[in-house]
Amino acid sequence: MPDPRVSVICIFYDAERFFREAIDSVLAQDGVPFELLLVDDGSSDGSTRMALDYVARHPEFVRYLEHEGHANKGMSAARNLGLAHARGEFVAFVDADDRWRPRKLAEQVALLDETPEVGMVCGTVNYWQSWEGGTDRLVPTGGHRDLVLRPPETLLELYPLGRGDAPCPSDVMVRRALVEYLGGFENEFRGLFEDVAFFSKVFLQSPVLFSSRQWLDYRLHADSCVATTDRAGRTEEARRQFLQWFASYLEPRDFPKKHDVLAAVGDARGELSLPPPILRLRRRWRRWLSELPRPRRA
């Protein structure tokens, strides 16, 4: 088998409900050689057995990884374990409850080959509710289609500093050299905002290509990390912790429009100090703004 061009990292923790569908959507990819790294973050259900079964059936390109002692260390540490073993030129992630569309890998590799200055590509995501009878919704990441944004414009336009939707981890493909240069994911983020912290570093460093193509069915369900954090009332605290970390990350670094970025971080931190009724009204206004059509840019 040729060396993989793409390392696919699938982290999982007690994920047996949707796990097979996620893995099978990776195995159905064609047109580009890839490896699949199944990273177990200390599961206690049947998902460990499922992962080992896939390795037994496809030992030439599927590998199983776990922390020492089968420990649970959180999402960032699990992604970093996968990155430490990745061999591909590019890295893609698939979460254990999502599903890829056919040709995702081949089309994203082609786009990155065509645009060597771009460090990451993402597309228009299907927010998937029809799997349990709901209505699906197509969301272009950041509100953009077929556009390259350069730093720090991407950072200022996308959540949590701007009004555009941030990427879904399962949708992106990123150059492994860029991931290594940035130091991977931040281990202190065990759950919510682990992806936002990583993407914020990417947006500060590299151009990003936003495509109109649809590669991901992002499953919405009550047991997701986002849903469970929201129900527990911990989302605002998680965002506050992220903004505090990001301000510290930015301060010693030099980059274009540093004043604008720091001001945006300050505004976001100030927003969290607003009384809850005003904060809710502000969010409704921001959601309304995010739904307005954006002019296309060349």
CA 227 from centroid of its chain's CA atoms: 16
Say if residue 281's pLDDT is above 70.
no
Return the pLDDT at 238.
84
CA 205 from centroid of its chain's CA atoms: 16
pLDDT band of 275, cuts 50, 70, 90: low
Q: Which residue has the higher pLDDT, 191 or 176?
A: 176
Average pLDDT, the chain: 90
Q: Under a CB-based contact definition with an 8 Å cutoff, are residues 66 and 35 in contact?
A: no
pLDDT band of 290, cuts 50, 70, 90: very low
Measured distance CA(172)–CA(174) in Å, rounded = 6
Say if residue 128's pLDDT is above 50.
yes
What are the C-alpha distances in Å from 96 to residues 135, 198, 234, 277?
21, 19, 23, 36
Structural domains of the chain ordered from first start = 6-291 (3.90.550.10)
Return the pLDDT at 224.
58
Measured distance CA(108)–CA(192) in Å, rounded = 26
Q: Under a CB-based contact definition with an 8 Å cutoff, are residues 136 and 220 in contact?
A: no
Say if residue 288's pLDDT is above 60.
no
Q: Under a CB-based contact definition with an 8 Å cutoff, are residues 184 and 130 in contact?
A: no
Q: What pTM value is reported for the model?
A: 0.89
pLDDT band of 235, cuts 50, 70, 90: confident
Measured in residues, the chain has a length of: 298
> What is the enclosing helix (H) or strand (E) of 76?
helix 75-85
**Range of lowest pLDDT (103-117, 134-148, 211-225):** 211-225
Return the pLDDT at 192.
82
Sequence-separated (6 or more) residues with CB below 8 Å from residue 52: 64
Residue % of the chain over a pLDDT of 90: 79
pLDDT band of 270, cuts 50, 70, 90: confident
Average pLDDT estimate for 117-145: 95
Q: Under a CB-based contact definition with an 8 Å cutoff, are residues 75 and 189 in contact?
A: yes
Q: How many CA atoms lie within 13 A of 168 on its CB side?
A: 27
